[in-house]
Structure 1
C-alpha cells in the first residue's frame, strides 16, 4: 500500500494489537479464479514467525481457497478507525488558506503465502478459538462443544482452514503528523466534538501521538 513516511507504523506490538482488535479482515488474492476477496474473522498468533501467523477459515464452496492452495501470495487487510478531516480544523488556515480536505485513518496490511487446512482436528481448533474469542465477556458464553458433535463434524466438512505466516507487514497510522502541533490539536478537537462516533474513535487515537 502507498504510505508516506510520516504515517508509517513499524511498532510490531502496536501492529499486532490493531490486528487483534479488528473484528473482520479482508483476504485478497489473485489466481486462476481472478481477483477475489473474502471478509472473515481471523486469529493472530504474534509468537509464530518473524511477524506472526494468522489463522481463519473459508467456506469450502468459496473458490478462493483453491487459488490459495497453489501457493498464491495473499493480502490480509485490517481496516481501522477513519475520519474526514476538514480544512476548517486547521488554525493555520487563517494565515495560509492553501489547504484542502484529507482523510485520517489506521490500517494494517499483512502479506504471505497460505497453507490450506482440511484436517478436522486443526479446523476444530480454529473455529473453537474464534468462538471463544468473540463469546468472551458474555454472561453465558456459547462453546462449540455445546452443539451436537455429529452436527459440528458436518459443519467442519463444509469449511477449509487457512494458515498465513506473515512475510511482510505494513502499518498506516495517518493522524495529521505532517501538520503543525497546532493543526494536529485542531483536528483532534474537531473530531472529538463531532456527532459521529467514528470521528471520536479517530480523535482518541490522535491523543496517543
Structure 2
C-alpha cells in the first residue's frame, strides 16, 4: 500500500487501532489466484514479535488451504468530503479514509481444542455477557467440525490515515463541523450518513497533526527572524 508521509500512522497509533480489531478481509494468493473473505478477528498481542490475529472459516471454503504469506485488510472510518465542506472555495471532492494492511503467515488449525479456544477469544472480545459454555456440547462439536481455525502470524503492519491532516487545522474543523451537520440532519436514503468515527478522528488526531505542523512552521519562521520567509 502506498502511504504518503503525511498520511502515515505512527507505530503507537497502529497498535492502538489493531487492539480494537473487529473484522476485516483475509486476502490470499492460492492455486486459483487471489481470494478474499470478510471475517471477524481476535488479537493476541503477545504471540510472536508483533502478535497474531485469529479467526475461523467454513471448512467448505477452500481459501483456508492457501496457507503461507497472506494479508488482512482492516477498515477504519471513511467519508465523502464535499467541496462545500471546506472553509475556502475552489476545492474538489475527495474521500477521507483509514485503513490498515496486516501482513503475515497464515496457518490453519483443524484441532478442535484450538478452534474452541479461538472462538472463546473472539466472544470474549465482544460487548456481551454470553459465553461459550452456554452452548450445548453436542451442538458445539457439530459447529467445530464444520469450521477451520485460522491464525495470521503478523510480520508487518502498514497503516494509512488520509483524514484531511494535510489541510490547515481550521479547515479540518470546518470539515468536521460539516460532517456533523450532515449526520444530524434528515438525509435522502441514497446518501450515506457521515460516520462518528471519522468526525472524531478529524477533531482529534488529524487536527493535532495539522496544529503540530503549523507550530513547526511558526517556530521556523521565528528562527529565521523578521522579514524573512520559510520556503
Give the secondary-structure state (helix, strand or coil) at the position aligned to 1:127. helix
Residue 106 of structure 1: aligned partner: 98
Once the 2 structures are TM-superposed, how far is the Cα of residue 62 of structure 1 from its aligned partner? 0.6
1:115 and 2:107 aligned = yes
- Which residue, 146, 155, 160 being the options, matches 1:172? 160
Higher RCO structure, 1 or 2 (CA under 8 Å, sep 6+): 1
Q: Deviations over 1:146-168 (max 9, x none)?
A: 12212211211111111111111
Q: Is the 8 A contact 2:70 2:105 kept in 1?
A: yes
Residue 11 of structure 2: aligned partner: 11
Two-structure CA RMSD over aligned residues (Å): 1.7
Q: Deviations over 1:65-108 (max 9, x none)?
A: 1112xx2x111011011111112222232xxx2x2111111111
Report how many aligned residue pairs link the two structures. Answer: 197
Once the 2 structures are TM-superposed, how far is the Cα of residue 135 of structure 1 from its aligned partner? 5.0
**Which runs of 5 or more residues in structure 1 are unaligned?**
none
Q: Measure, in 1, the Cα distance between the counterparts of 2:47 and 2:24.
A: 19
Q: Is the 8 A contact 1:16 1:44 kept in 2?
A: no
1:124 and 2:116 aligned = yes
Q: Measure, in 1, the Cα distance between the counterparts of 2:148 and 2:104.
A: 18
| TM norm structure 2 | 0.79
Give the secondary-structure state (helix, strand or coil) at the position aligned to 1:84. strand
